[in-house]
Amino acid sequence: MSSPKNVAVLVGSLRKESLNRKMANALIAMAPPSLKLGIMEIGQLPLFNQDFEADPPQVIRDFKQQLEAADAVLFITPEYNRSIPGALKNAIDVGSRPYGKSSWNGKPGAVISLSPGAIGGFGANHHLRQCLVFLNVPAMQQPEAYIGKAANLFDEKGAIANESTREFMQKFLQAFEQWIDRNLPQKQ
Ligand SMILES: Cc1cc2nc3c(=O)[nH]c(=O)nc-3n(C[C@H](O)[C@H](O)[C@H](O)COP(=O)(O)O)c2cc1C
């Protein structure tokens, strides 16, 4: 049996009671043993400054190293003003530099947007995909995950309370595992 795939989960919200973090934790609990999901924190990162490139602070070196160790990346994000939160864009920028040494390069990815609103963070989902094209992160196209009306989606233990959403997320994880298999960079 092949070893489990390590998936770095980036949550676009920094708040303690974040619904997106709840989704990340629910997926960590639901994932099959062949997918090892773990949240990669982004709130500790300094605001990106191109001056860092010559001698990046340790916190950035650690972030890039952790990212490079992952087989794949899963973004779970709210929508802020019809785009992605600044903290997530910052993490994307931090991981993308120095020029020519992007830690995102070639990693298979997937995007989940989640909002208490009705349209499930569609704008954020697609703005994020625009970055991923440039970063050479092949982002799974189907199934798409725009999770709307999420205010009461989780029970008191943090599990997804709605059965159809739970089944959908299970299928999403299965499809993502196949996507990772198909898109992992070939070892030289
Ligand atoms: C600055 C800001 C902008 C927001 N803009 C949007 C938006 O464009 N679309 C949307 O559906 N919700 C928007 N919201 C509401 C968020 O979806 C809601 O606060 C959500 O719970 C945030 O995700 P979290 O629970 O993971 O922190 C916005 C919230 C904030 C704080």
CATH number of 5-183: 3.40.50.360
Burial 102-112 (b: 16+ CB within 10 A, else e): bbbeebbbbbb
Question: pLDDT grade, residue 1 (50/70/90)?
Answer: low
- Residue 2 pLDDT more than 60? yes
- What is the model's pLDDT at position 187? 66
Residues in Cβ contact with 102 at an 8 Å cutoff, skipping those fewer than 6 apart? 95, 96, 135, 136
Q: Is the CB of 20 under 6 A from ligand 1?
A: yes
Angle at CA 139, nearest 5°, toward 119 and 117?
A: 10
Task: Please give the distance, rounded to the nearest whole angstrom, from the Cα atom of residue 78 to the centre of ligand 1.
Answer: 6
Our answer on whether the CB atom of 182 is closer than 6 Å to any ligand 1 atom is no
Compute, in angstroms, the gap from residue 97 CA to the centroid of ligand 1: 28
157 Cβ contact list (under 8 Å, min separation 6): none
Task: List, for residues 3-57, the tens digit of each pLDDT value.
Answer: 899 999 999 999 999 999 999 999 999 999 999 999 999 999 999 999 999 999 9
At 174 the pLDDT is 98
CA distance 103 to 131: 14
Q: What is the pLDDT of residues 73-115, one digit of tens each?
A: 999 999 999 999 999 999 999 999 999 999 999 999 999 999 9
Q: Would you tell me how many other CB atoms lie within 10 Å of the CB of residue 58?
A: 7
d(CA 72, CA 122): 22
132 C-alpha vs ligand 1 centroid, how far in Å? Answer: 21
Kindly tell me if the per-residue pLDDT of 188 is higher than 90.
no
User: Does 83 sit in the ligand 1 pocket, CB within 6 Å?
Assistant: no
Residue of 79, 82, 83, 84 to test ligand 1 pocket, by largest number of atoms within 8 Å of CB: 79
Say which amino acid occupies 146.
Y
Q: Whose CA is nearest to atom 27 of ligand 1?
A: 18
Whole-angstrom distance, CA of residue 74 vs CA of residue 7? 7
At 186 the pLDDT is: 78
pLDDT tens per residue, range 121-165: 999 999 999 999 999 999 999 999 999 999 999 999 999 999 999
- Closest CA to ligand 1's atom 20: 115
What is the DSSP secondary structure assignment for residue 15, as one 8-state letter? Answer: S
What is the rounded CA–CA span in Å between residue 84 and residue 141? 18
Nearest ligand 1 atom to the CA of 15 is: 27
Domain-by-domain residue ranges, the chain? 5-183
pTM equals 0.97
